[in-house]
Chain A
Amino acid sequence: MDIKIGNSIKLLFFCVSFFVTLDAADRLELRVVTRTNDTAVTTMALGVPYTLELKVEGMHDLHNCTIAGLENFHSEFFGASQISWMANSSIVHSYVIRADTVGDFTLGPATLVTKTGTVLSSNVLSLKVEQQQQSDVIVELLLNQKSVVVGQKATGKLCIHTCVNSQLINLQTPSMDQELGTFAQLPDHVQTTRTIEGKNYNSYEIPITVLFKKPGRFSLPKVGALCRVQNQKKQHSFPFGFSMYGAQDIWFYSAQPVVLEVEALPPLSSTNHFLGIGLFDSVALMCKQKSATQGEGIVVLLDIIGREGVDDLQPPPLDLPDGLKYYESKSTFEKLSNGSYKKSCEYIIQATRDHTFEVNPQRYSYFDTASRTYKHLTTNSFKLEITGGKKRFQEHDLPKQLDLHNDLINDEKIASIKTDGPWFYTPERALSTRWFLLCVGLIVCAMVLGYIRKYRSGLTSDYWMQKRKRDAFNATRKTVAQLKKQNNYSQLYDTFNQLFKDRCQLLPAEVTADIIEDRLKKAGFVRESVEQWNRFFLQLAELAYCKQGAFSRVPEDLFKRASMWINQLEEKL
Chain B
Amino acid sequence: MRKRFGMVLIVLIIMSCCNLLFATSQEDFLHANDLYKRGDYADAQRLYASIDTKGAAVWYNLGNCWYHLKDYPQAIACWKRCLKYGGFAWYDDVVHNCSQAYEILGIQPHEVWYEHLVRTIRNYSLLWWQLVLILVSLVSCLLLLRSDYKKKSVLLGVMIGVMSVATSCLGIKYWGLSKKDALVGQEAFLVAGTDERFSRLATLKKGEEVVVYETRGKWSKVAANEGVGWILADTLIII
Interface residue ranges, A against B (CB under 8 Å): 35-36, 78-81, 83-86, 94, 170-175, 185, 221, 224, 407, 410-411, 413-426, 428-431, 436, 439-440, 443-444, 446-447, 450-451, 454, 458, 463, 466
Q: How far is the CB of A252 from chain B (nearest CB, A)?
A: 11
Residue B144 at the A interface, CB < 8 A?
yes
Residue of chain A at shortest CB distance from B170: A436
9 tightest Cβ-Cβ pairs between the two chains A and B: A79-B217, A421-B57, A430-B126, A415-B93, A447-B141, A175-B196, A443-B137, A422-B55, A417-B61
**Residue among B96, B125, B140 making CB contact with A428, cutoff 8 Å:** B125
**Contact B145–A454 (Cβ < 8 Å):** yes
**Residue among B54, B64, B90, B198 making CB contact with A172, cutoff 8 Å:** B198
* Contact partners of B158 in chain A: CB under 8 A: none
Residue from A415, A450, A454 having most chain B Cβ neighbours under 10 A: A415
**Contact B216–A78 (Cβ < 8 Å):** yes
Residue of chain A at shortest CB distance from B92: A415
Whole-angstrom CA separation of A458 from B97 in the bound complex: 63
Whole-angstrom CA separation of A430 from B176 in the bound complex: 14
**Contact B138–A443 (Cβ < 8 Å):** yes
* Contact partners of B199 in chain A: CB under 8 A: 170-173
**Contact A418–B90 (Cβ < 8 Å):** yes
Contact A417-B141, Cβ < 8 Å, known A172-B198, A172-B199? no
**Contact B67–A451 (Cβ < 8 Å):** no
**Contact A447–B137 (Cβ < 8 Å):** yes
Whole-angstrom CA separation of A173 from B196 in the bound complex: 8
Known: A417-B61, A431-B127. 7 other contacts (CB 8 A): A170-B192, A170-B198, A224-B197, A410-B67, A420-B57, A424-B54, A428-B125
**Contact B61–A418 (Cβ < 8 Å):** yes
**Contact B56–A451 (Cβ < 8 Å):** no
Residue B105 at the A interface, CB < 8 A?
no
Contact A175-B197, Cβ < 8 Å, known A454-B145, A458-B149? yes
* Contact partners of A414 in chain B: CB under 8 A: 64, 67, 96-97, 100
Q: How far is the CB of B100 from chain A (nearest CB, A)?
A: 5
* Contact partners of B36 in chain A: CB under 8 A: 417
**Contact B85–A417 (Cβ < 8 Å):** no
**Contact A436–B86 (Cβ < 8 Å):** no
* Contact partners of A430 in chain B: CB under 8 A: 125-127, 130
**Contact B214–A83 (Cβ < 8 Å):** yes
**Residue among B51, B61, B138, B215 making CB contact with A81, cutoff 8 Å:** B215
**Contact A444–B137 (Cβ < 8 Å):** yes
Contact A428-B126, Cβ < 8 Å, known A417-B36, A423-B25, A439-B134? yes
**Contact B67–A421 (Cβ < 8 Å):** no
Q: How far is the CB of B145 from chain A (nearest CB, A)?
A: 5
**Residue among A36, A417, A429, A451 making CB contact with B193, cutoff 8 Å:** A36
**Contact A423–B198 (Cβ < 8 Å):** no
**Contact B216–A79 (Cβ < 8 Å):** yes
**Contact A450–B217 (Cβ < 8 Å):** no
Whole-angstrom CA separation of A175 from B215 in the bound complex: 20
Whole-angstrom CA separation of A86 from B57 in the bound complex: 29
**Contact B55–A421 (Cβ < 8 Å):** yes
Contact A415-B192, Cβ < 8 Å, known A36-B198, A175-B197? no
B residues contacting the other copy or chain, number (CB 8 A): 61
* Contact partners of A443 in chain B: CB under 8 A: 134, 137-138, 141
Contact A429-B90, Cβ < 8 Å, known A414-B100, A421-B60? no
**Contact A410–B68 (Cβ < 8 Å):** yes
Residue of chain A at shortest CB distance from B198: A172
Whole-angstrom CA separation of A331 from B80 in the bound complex: 35
Q: How far is the CB of B220 from chain A (nearest CB, A)?
A: 10
Residue B194 at the A interface, CB < 8 A?
yes
**Contact B55–A428 (Cβ < 8 Å):** no
Q: How far is the CB of B7 from chain A (nearest CB, A)?
A: 25
Whole-angstrom CA separation of A417 from B44 in the bound complex: 11
Q: How far is the CB of B228 from chain A (nearest CB, A)?
A: 11
Residue of chain B at shortest CB distance from A418: B57
Residue B178 at the A interface, CB < 8 A?
yes
* Contact partners of A407 in chain B: CB under 8 A: 39, 68
Whole-angstrom CA separation of A426 from B64 in the bound complex: 22
**Contact A417–B64 (Cβ < 8 Å):** yes
Residue of chain A at shortest CB distance from B192: A170
**Contact A421–B90 (Cβ < 8 Å):** yes
Whole-angstrom CA separation of A411 from B125 in the bound complex: 33
Flag B34-56 by CB within 8 Å of A: 1 or 0 each: 00110100000000000101111
Could you give 27 example pairs across A and B, Cβ below 8 Å? A35-B193, A83-B214, A94-B217, A407-B39, A413-B100, A414-B97, A415-B93, A417-B36, A418-B61, A421-B56, A421-B87, A422-B57, A422-B85, A423-B29, A423-B51, A424-B25, A424-B26, A425-B85, A425-B86, A440-B133, A440-B134, A440-B137, A444-B137, A446-B141, A447-B145, A451-B144, A454-B145
**Residue among A415, A423, A466 making CB contact with B58, cutoff 8 Å:** A423
Residue B234 at the A interface, CB < 8 A?
no
Q: How far is the CB of B211 from chain A (nearest CB, A)?
A: 15
Residue of chain A at shortest CB distance from B30: A419
**Contact A466–B149 (Cβ < 8 Å):** yes
Q: How far is the CB of A447 from chain B (nearest CB, A)?
A: 4
Residue of chain B at shortest CB distance from A49: B195
* Contact partners of B93 in chain A: CB under 8 A: 415
**Contact A425–B97 (Cβ < 8 Å):** no
Q: How far is the CB of B172 from chain A (nearest CB, A)?
A: 14
**Residue among A415, A417, A424, A458 making CB contact with B33, cutoff 8 Å:** A417
**Contact A423–B145 (Cβ < 8 Å):** no
Whole-angstrom CA separation of A559 from B195 in the bound complex: 96
**Contact A419–B33 (Cβ < 8 Å):** yes
Whole-angstrom CA separation of A439 from B141 in the bound complex: 13
Whole-angstrom CA separation of A492 from B195 in the bound complex: 94
Whole-angstrom CA separation of A425 from B52 in the bound complex: 9
**Contact A447–B60 (Cβ < 8 Å):** no
Residue of chain B at shortest CB distance from A34: B193
Contact A415-B54, Cβ < 8 Å, known A84-B178, A175-B197? no
Q: How far is the CB of B187 from chain A (nearest CB, A)?
A: 15
Whole-angstrom CA separation of A86 from B175 in the bound complex: 10
Q: How far is the CB of A554 from chain B (nearest CB, A)?
A: 43
Contact A172-B197, Cβ < 8 Å, known A421-B57, A423-B25? yes
Whole-angstrom CA separation of A162 from B130 in the bound complex: 57
* Contact partners of B37 in chain A: CB under 8 A: 417
Residue of chain B at shortest CB distance from A435: B130
**Contact B127–A422 (Cβ < 8 Å):** no
* Contact partners of A417 in chain B: CB under 8 A: 33, 36-37, 60-61, 64
